[in-house]
Amino acid sequence: MKKNTLIMDLPPIDYTSNEDRAILRWKYMGEEILIQYYWQTWHPCAYLKVKKIPEDIEMLDVPCNWWITFNNEITEDTEWNWWRFTEWLWIGWDYAHCDDYMRILWRGKKWTTEEILKEVENVILWCKKMWML
């Protein structure tokens, strides 16, 4: 299988930022992804657009940081409408667990955009096997 490569420098994650911002919104391996930084909790999250979501996705062994922490349909009526997504299903996971860096604790692993993108790649491959894409 031929992998897509990014023809750009990946933006770094600024763990000192005081504003929400999309770090990377991209079509990767043919799938739409979003890496977002949240200033309220000072951590990044990754999201992947999918065609369907299994009811028990939180219980499945998805190859991402800990587990899937977001699995909802995002529409213009939801509180996340500032993402400007169309009506699609998205799954997501965060980088704010006990071993991850959160500014409130001032310690833990600071994930890079490259490391998160590698996890996104693993989740894409897993979702294709699960017929979610």
For residues 35 and 31, give the distance between their C-alpha atoms in angstroms, rounded to a whole number.
13
Angle (CA) 87 26 82, round 5°: 45
The pLDDT value recorded for residue 77 is 55
For residues 117 and 24, give the distance between their C-alpha atoms in angstroms, rounded to a whole number.
9
The pLDDT of 29-56, averaged and rounded, is 84
- Domain spans of the chain, in order of start: 21-129
- Tokens found for residue 21: 């911002």
Question: How do the residues of the chain divide into helix, strand and coil, expressed in percent and rounded to 5?
Answer: 15, 30, 55
The answer, yes or no, to whether residue 38 has pLDDT greater than 50, is: yes
What's the whole-number average pLDDT of the chain? Answer: 78
Instruction: Name the band, by pLDDT with cuts 50, 70 and 90, for residue 126.
Output: very high
Instruction: Name the band, by pLDDT with cuts 50, 70 and 90, for residue 89.
Output: confident
More confident: 15 or 67? 67
The pLDDT of 100-114, averaged and rounded, is 81
Map residue 86 onto helix, strand or coil. Answer: coil
